[in-house]
Every structure is written in structure tokens, then in C-alpha cells.
Structure 1
């Protein structure tokens, strides 16, 4: 089921809205002095079931956040919800042109715009990007956080699980709110508090309608000794480069300044 809430330019409702405002101003003038600032809104909803197999149109007239009248395509007439909306509903129901446009809008407005709405929202699929990164938690001396960053997916429905050595983890899992990006995709962070031991494998598993199956990104815990060896190796490699580069530059400079030896036959 989908809903569209924006009236298009040139909509048959434009004339009805002008009539609404005219009647509203006249009605207020007969009752009481209208406020200096007020807001009148008309909201249209297209409700789809089984694609366009069944379509229902509901248009609501709202004055200062209170619904005054509405049109329901399943009823085929305008209905007053307050006394303020009664003159409007009675006037529109007596006007054959307005009533005909309202009844036809299920096709001219809802079904007509269904293709564009479906292409952007209903059929749109964007796969999520998943990244796992560790960070230190301040809740304990040996506690850490694993952060699963899931970004750039559409639609918003998504399921994210944390696994430890294949077993789902529920304790210590914290999630941020679902955030919408400027391109209408979504992002979310799901964090797991852990106390890793060497060899433990943590998995962020993501299920989304755009994926053929669950997407899993692993992170394996390493011991402090292993991390120290890795850092030592990286440090040694960097130091080697520091000493190697100047020596190579000196060698190339000296080689450039030497005379090129000539074959013995050319000197005789």
C-alpha cells in the first residue's frame, strides 16, 4: 500500500481549493472576525492495494490543524467534519463539475501518478555498504566496542545482527536511530560491547531486500602479542625505508657524476 500526498500542477482540485477559500472567507465574515493569521490546507492521499488493482482517494480539508471536511472516493461525495466545513461540502456536492472531477481523480490523479511513484519508491533498491571497526569502550578496562556501519541503503527496512563465533549476540547491542541521507537512502550504526579473546570471530550480518542473501562482514580478535609483533614489523619496515631512501639518492648522485669508461680500442 502506498500514499501520495502532493497535488500536481494543473490538478482538478485547484478550482475546488479556490472555491474553498472563497466560501471559507465568506463563512468567517458572517460568523466572526477572522484571525490575522490562519492556515487552510488540502491533503490528498492515494491508497493502493495490489498495485493499481484497488485505488482509494481521500482528500482532507484542514483549517488550523482541524479537519473540517473530506472527500472519500469510496463514498463519492464530500463530507463535513465540522460546522465550518458544512457549507463547503454542501456547495461542492451541488456542483456537478466539481463532483465529477473529484470522482475521476482516482484515475486522473492517483493511477496517473502511480508509475512515477513506483519507479522511485516502490521498485527502488539500493544495496547497503557494511563496515566493521573496533573502538575502546570506557565502561571497563578490557571492554571494547565493535561498530557496524551500514550506509547508503534503500528502502529503510533492514535487519542487522551481531554474531560471535556463529552465535547471535543480544546483550550489549546498541543501535542508533535510522538516519535519512540527502539522496533518500538511509544509514545506521549498530554497536556491540565485547571482551575479545584471541581467535574469536565477530560477524555483523545484514539482511536487506536489495540483497540475494545475508551480507556478513567478519572481525577477528588478535592477542596483544600478535598486535605488538605486527606493529614492530610495520615499524621496522618504515625505519628501513627511512635509511634506504637517502642511501639510494646518494648512490644515484655519485653514479651520475662519474665519467663513462670508453672501450680500449677507441683510445689507441
Structure 2
């Protein structure tokens, strides 16, 4: 499955992704799966076997979310249409049997400056085949198997306008709601747990120093290596900010030095949960 969401979070940036997957040729998988991902963490799930919408965001359910019925309607609608779309694409690709996957990635992103981005992309067997250009209100085919679909969908101007509205209005509204809910259940700010590790290379000539900060919330953080009291601006590598399963975040910063290096190195961490900059 192509769209495994790996998000390197930027300060103040949030994202919401809906990943629909239709599967043919393998009865061990549900025919249809819908996964909802907030800032790189799964918060919702539905599949054609259970036919149940599951919220993985604490406190968000049918009783607390006014949009819950909309989610269920969307999931069941996609479940009904996905096998038909997959069968059409298989025929156009001259695939009559075997294991095949059809996916749809719909979502939006919002940064700290209020800049928005929306996307609606379709893929088949790991390749992009169709995408929506919301500025020009039209679909673009990246593969010959999607040309007929592209032409058909482009003739439905009302549906194109609805797609644009969802990406720019509905999706952003839901994203803001989820982020606000996440901040509420996170009980405010959580400080990072910081540790430093050293690992020698195989030839023992170099040493890789790793500073790990994990378990913090929100995701905005500054981690730097310090050499003899001065911040090292170059020659460092970063994992980027990544989500943990408990909806906190982590980051790793690396630097490589000679094993005989006698300089003093430390790791400096700044986070909104801390009253001051900490050095380890």
C-alpha cells in the first residue's frame, strides 16, 4: 500500500488525512479500509468486515461529535463505490485477476500562518493515477487507465465545486476541531524526556552522538548540539519531529565526531513546557 503517511512535522503545522483503500484478490484483507490520520497519528478506522467506525481519539465519539453521522455516511458511501472503481480500473489496465489495490488520499494541512493546502489523489497498485486541481476545478490523469475517469469527473462541475469546498472549508474545520480536542485531552503541555547516546563506528575511528527528546507536547521544539558552549549550526542530522503512539512527539539529533575528539559536547533543548532552556 503506497500511502503510508510519514510526516515530518513543522512548528505550528497540522494535517488531516483520510486514506481509503480498496483491495482485490486477497480474502485475508477487508475489501475496503478507511483510516483517518491527524498529525501522523491514526485517530479513526473503518473497514468493510466490521462495518463499524472506530474513534481512536479519546473522548471523541457519537455522543460528543456532531459530525459523527457524516463520518459514517462517508465511510459507507466509499465502501459501496470503491469495489466498482477498482473493477473499472482493473479492466482498463487489462488486469482480470490477482492482487490489486486502489487508494484515495484526501486531506488538508494548515500552518501557523494560516496557509492552507488541500489534496485529493488516487492511486492504483502503488502508482499515482489521478489528482484534483482545486484552483482550476479539474481532475488531472497521471496514467492512461484514469483518462476516462478524468474526463467523466471533469464534466460534473457541481461535484468539482463540492470537492474544492470540502478541501478548503470542511476539512480545515474538522482539522481545527481535532487539534483543539487533542490539545484539551493532552492536558496542556508535556515536557520532553531527554537522553544522550554515543555509538562507535565499526572501525572505531568516529563516534556518533545522538540526542533524543521524546514524550513532549505540543510538537514545537528546538534541539541543538553545543560544542564548547557554542551552537553547532552545521554537520548535524535530524530525524525531524515524529509522532509517538500516545500522541506525544519525539525528535533525534545526530552528530559525528572523531573518537579522539577532546571537545565538550552537550545537547540543548527548548520547549514551551520548560521554564528555561535545558542543557544535557
> In 2, are the aligned partners of 1:132 and 1:146 still within 8 Å (CA)?
yes
| Greater Rg over alpha carbons, structure | 1
> Counterpart of 2:147?
86
> Counterpart of 1:152?
215
Which of structures 1 and 2 has the larger relative contact order (alpha carbons within 8 angstroms, sep 6+)? 2
Rate the CA distance shift 1:15–1:76 in 2: closer, same or farther, 3 A.
farther
Q: What is the TM-score when the length of structure 1 is the normalising length?
A: 0.54
> In 1, are the aligned partners of 2:86 and 2:101 still within 8 Å (CA)?
no
Q: What is the TM-score when the length of structure 2 is the normalising length?
A: 0.52
1:183-262 to structure 2, matched below 5 A, reads 183=246, 184-186=248-250, 188=252, 204-217=267-280
- Verify: 1:98 aligned to 2:159, yes or no: yes
Rate the CA distance shift 1:177–1:47 in 2: closer, same or farther, 3 A.
closer
> Counterpart of 2:116?
55
Name the SS of the counterpart of 2:98 in structure 1: coil
Unaligned stretches of 5+ residues in structure 2: 1-12, 20-35, 37-70, 199-203
Rate the CA distance shift 1:89–1:16 in 2: closer, same or farther, 3 A.
farther
The structure where helix makes up a greater share of residues is 1
- Verify: 1:112 aligned to 2:124, yes or no: no
Unaligned stretches of 5+ residues in structure 1: 218-268
> In 1, are the aligned partners of 2:210 and 2:252 still within 8 Å (CA)?
no
Counterpart among 210, 225, 231 of residue 161 in structure 1: 225
> In 2, are the aligned partners of 1:156 and 1:186 still within 8 Å (CA)?
no
Name the SS of the counterpart of 2:100 in structure 1: coil
The structure where strand makes up a greater share of residues is 2
The structural deviation recorded for 1:110 is: 2.8
Structure 1 Cα separation of the partners of residues 131 and 157 of structure 2? 17
The structural deviation recorded for 1:43 is: 0.5
> In 2, are the aligned partners of 1:148 and 1:190 still within 8 Å (CA)?
yes
Name the SS of the counterpart of 1:74 in structure 2: coil
The structural deviation recorded for 1:5 is: 1.6
Structure 1 Cα separation of the partners of residues 124 and 112 of structure 2? 33
Number of aligned residues: 207
> In 1, are the aligned partners of 2:16 and 2:171 still within 8 Å (CA)?
no
